[in-house]
């Protein structure tokens, strides 16, 4: 009976101690919650602070029982809905630091859409003008968002947009960011995305990523190889018939965000980082995306389907106990046409 009385007397003390420990832990962790968990109740005065720190999700319903675990980093949870927020900030910050552009100045970029939107967003926040040359078939949703952010948008055929961007930059006295060759593109993922992945998972056996400009696969790949050595497999994903993997192909599939017709300068410089390049057909990417949307609840875009398609193959050959990680670069909500295409596949 005496021990019951003692215990009851201690309850208020234990509650106070528990509350103190919890409040102390929260106050200590608050600055790190965004980088660890992606989202928190933190309040920030600058929305640029919300770039990065995106969550990683383990696939649970479409991975084989005896296959490696597959993890997906949800980069569409960045402020403009893609991983390109990281490189837009890094490239523009680099140009400002090197005094290539001054406050109120102008930046130009050639992009299929996501980088252009991210450049428009960062430029508007930093008081810069943005002129964006995008594919003529770019998602109307993306183009509308760029214009809402104050950017000037010029539509062009894919093979002409770089030359047009370079000419405009010269005529207007602007800085051409040139994401496929800009080292800040690689550095953004080497300094942020790579460390975030390793911090979340502790160990990685394979990293799978689509090749658009090559910045993500090369930046993250370089970081992981420096920390984990040659045991980590770096896999690049390209559309079927891409010149990167099949230069003599008679036809080339097009998957938004991935390179079909050119080999980016970044890939040329860091080709030794990539252990394997795998081609994926457009239909394969869409079928996989439909399964991912329906069974995993991940609303990724077309390149997400391509990435996970290859990640599942790598997981099968790697076997149980291994970790394969890939990225969902953007969201299907940016692609009304693709939503209609996969609608019947999810029913």
What's the per-residue H, E or C state across 183-221? HHHHHHHHHHHHHHHHHHHCCCCEEEEECCCCHHHHHHH
266 shares a domain with 314? yes
pLDDT for 31: 37
In a domain, 14, yes or no: no
In angstroms and rounded to an integer, the radius of gyration of the C-alpha atoms of the chain is: 22
Let me know whether 229 and 330 are in one domain. Answer: yes
- Judge if 336 and 218 occupy the same domain: yes
Q: Tell me, yes or no, whether 158 lies in a domain.
A: yes
**Residue 15 within a domain:** no
Number of Cβ within 10 Å of residue 327's Cβ equals 30
- Whether 277 and 338 share a structural domain: yes
Q: What are the tokens at 325?
A: 């990680």
Q: What is the CATH number of the domain that holds 103?
A: 3.40.50.1100
Q: Are residues 328 and 210 in the same domain?
A: yes
Asked if residue 153 is part of any domain, the answer here is yes
Does some domain include residue 40? no
- Report yes or no on 28 lying in a domain: no
The number of folded domains in the chain is 2
Please provide the DSSP assignment of 98-128 as one string: TTSS-TT-EEEEEESSHHHHHHHHHHHHTT-
pLDDT at 347: 66
Reference 35, options 73, 80, 92; nearest CA is 73
Quick one: pLDDT at residue 3?
A: 42
321 and 272 in a single domain? The answer is yes
Using the 3D structure, point to which of 149, 176, 203 is the last residue of a domain: 176
Residue 285 and residue 160 share a domain: no
pLDDT, position 91: 98
Q: Which two tokens stand for residue 242?
A: 């891409």
Residue span of the structural domain in which 323 resides: 49-80+185-343
Is 10 part of any domain?
no
Q: Which DSSP string do the residues of 38-97 spell out, in sequence order? A: S--S---S-GGGGSS---EEE--SSS-TTSPEEEEEEGGGSTTSBTHHHHHHHHHHHHHH
211 and 300 both lie in a single domain: yes
Single residue among 176, 206, 234 that ends a domain in this structure: 176
Regarding whether 120 and 68 lie in a shared domain, the answer is no
Residue 210, Cβ density class (10 Å: 0-12 exposed, 13-18 middle, ≥19 buried):
buried
Residues designated as active site: 84, 303
Residue 16: inside a domain: no
Say yes or no: 66 and 195 in one domain. Answer: yes
pLDDT score at 70: 98
171 shares its domain with 230: no
Backbone angles phi, psi at 198, to 5 degrees: -70, -35
- One domain for residues 65 and 96: no
Report pLDDT for 8: 42
pLDDT for res 314: 98
**pLDDT in the model for residue 193:** 98
The pLDDT tens digits along the chain (347 residues) read 444 343 344 434 333 333 333 333 323 333 333 443 444 456 887 999 999 999 999 999 999 999 999 999 999 999 999 999 999 999 999 999 999 998 899 999 999 789 999 999 999 999 999 999 998 888 788 899 999 999 999 999 988 999 999 999 999 999 999 999 999 999 999 999 999 999 999 999 999 999 999 999 999 999 999 999 999 999 999 999 999 999 999 999 999 999 999 999 999 999 999 999 999 999 999 999 999 999 999 999 999 999 999 999 999 999 999 999 999 999 999 998 899 999 878 76
Which residue among 124, 144, 176 closes a domain?
A: 176
Q: Are 75 and 52 in contact (CB under 8 A)?
A: no
């Amino acid at each position: 009976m005496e021990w019951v009385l003692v215990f009851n007397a201690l309850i208020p003390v234990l509650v106070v101690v528990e509350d103190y420990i919890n409040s102390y832990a929260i106050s200590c962790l608050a600055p790190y919650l965004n980088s660890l968990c992606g989202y928190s109740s933190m309040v920030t005065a600058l929305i640029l602070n919300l770039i990065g720190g995106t969550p990683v999700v383990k696939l649970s319903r479409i991975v084989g029982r005896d296959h490696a675990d597959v993890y997906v980093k949800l980069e569409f949870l960045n402020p403009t809905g893609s991983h390109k927020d990281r490189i837009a900030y890094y490239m523009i910050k680099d140009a400002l630091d090197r005094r290539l552009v001054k406050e109120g100045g102008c930046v130009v970029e050639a992009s299929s859409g996501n980088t252009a939107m991210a450049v428009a967003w960062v430029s508007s926040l930093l008081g810069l003008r943005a002129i964006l040359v995008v594919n003529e078939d770019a998602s109307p949703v993306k183009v509308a968002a760029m214009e809402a952010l104050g950017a000037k948008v010029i539509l062009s055929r894919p093979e002409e947009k770089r030359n047009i961007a370079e000419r405009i930059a010269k005529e207007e006295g602007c800085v051409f960011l040139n994401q496929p060759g800009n080292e800040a593109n690689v550095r953004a993922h080497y300094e942020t995305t790579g460390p975030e992945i390793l911090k979340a998972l502790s160990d990685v056996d394979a990293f799978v990523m689509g090749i658009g400009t090559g910045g993500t696969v090369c930046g993250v790949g370089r970081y992981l190889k420096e920390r984990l050595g040659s045991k980590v497999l770096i896999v690049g994903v390209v559309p079927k018939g891409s010149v990167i993997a099949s230069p003599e192909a008679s036809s080339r599939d097009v998957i938004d965000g991935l390179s079909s017709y050119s080999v980016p300068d970044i890939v040329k410089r860091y080709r030794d980082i990539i252990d394997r390049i795998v081609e994926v057909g457009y239909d394969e990417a869409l079928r996989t995306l439909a399964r991912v949307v329906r069974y995993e609840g991940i609303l990724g875009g077309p390149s997400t389907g391509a990435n996970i398609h290859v990640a599942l193959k790598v997981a099968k050959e790697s076997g149980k106990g291994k970790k394969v990680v890939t990225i969902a670069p953007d969201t299907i909500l940016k692609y009304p046409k693709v939503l209609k295409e996969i609608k019947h596949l999810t029913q």
